[in-house]
């Protein structure tokens, strides 16, 4: 369940995004965005087994249509901004944490990663692996309060 989602999108919006980034998107990602174009999930925590801790999603970025309730960011703008800073083009940002780090899908491997934006110039150290597959990420988001997780 998502709140504060942006305007609904169609397959033509997905096609435009794929054309813009010159890469195809996974089917589970497409299905999700056709139902929920960005917004705030009711479950925001993802457990990172390697760290034995949680990361928290602030909000999911919309495709094409901005929502001023959250920010004026879109996936397209964020992707353009990140690639202009040297982030490899295979990382498509789809959400943010509270510190400005981007949850992204690696379009080459289908891995979900967190791009750590406060480590200076981009290196492999700025990529924190979370899980494989967008659906797996969504399905494993958990409810909780900061002191509980």
**pTM for this model (two decimals):** 0.92
Q: What is the pLDDT along the chain (149 residues), one digit of tens a residue?
A: 888 889 999 999 999 999 999 999 999 999 999 999 999 999 999 999 999 999 999 999 999 998 777 778 999 999 999 999 999 999 999 999 999 999 999 999 999 999 999 888 899 999 999 999 999 999 999 997 655 44
Calpha distance 11→46 (Å, rounded): 28
For residue 104, what are the β-bridge partners?
93, 113
Q: Quick one: tokens of 78?
A: 């964020």
Q: How many CB atoms lie within 10 A of CB 126?
A: 17
The CATH label, of 3.40.30.10, 3.30.379.10, 3.40.1580.10, 3.40.50.150, for the domain at 2-142 is 3.40.1580.10
Calpha distance 103→61 (Å, rounded): 10
Contact between 63 and 31 under an 8 Å Cβ cutoff? The reply is: no
End-to-end Cα distance, the chain: 20
**Boundaries of every domain in the chain:** 2-142
Contact between 143 and 42 under an 8 Å Cβ cutoff? The reply is: yes
Query: Would you say how long the chain is, in residues?
Result: 149
Contact between 39 and 141 under an 8 Å Cβ cutoff? The reply is: no
């Amino acid at each position: 369940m998502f709140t504060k989602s942006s305007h609904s999108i169609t397959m033509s919006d997905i096609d435009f995004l794929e054309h813009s980034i010159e890469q195809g998107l996974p089917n589970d990602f497409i299905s999700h965005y056709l139902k929920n174009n960005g917004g705030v999930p009711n479950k925001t925590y993802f457990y990172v087994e390697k760290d034995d801790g949680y990361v928290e999603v602030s909000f999911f970025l919309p495709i094409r249509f901005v929502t001023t309730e959250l920010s004026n960011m879109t996936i397209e703008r964020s992707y353009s901004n990140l690639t202009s800073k040297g982030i490899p083009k295979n990382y498509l940002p789809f959400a943010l944490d509270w510190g400005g780090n981007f949850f992204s899908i690696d379009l080459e491997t289908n891995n979900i990663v967190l791009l750590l934006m406060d480590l200076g110039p981009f290196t492999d150290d700025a990529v924190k692996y979370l899980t494989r597959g967008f659906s797996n990420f969504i399905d494993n988001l958990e409810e909780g309060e900061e002191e509980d997780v």
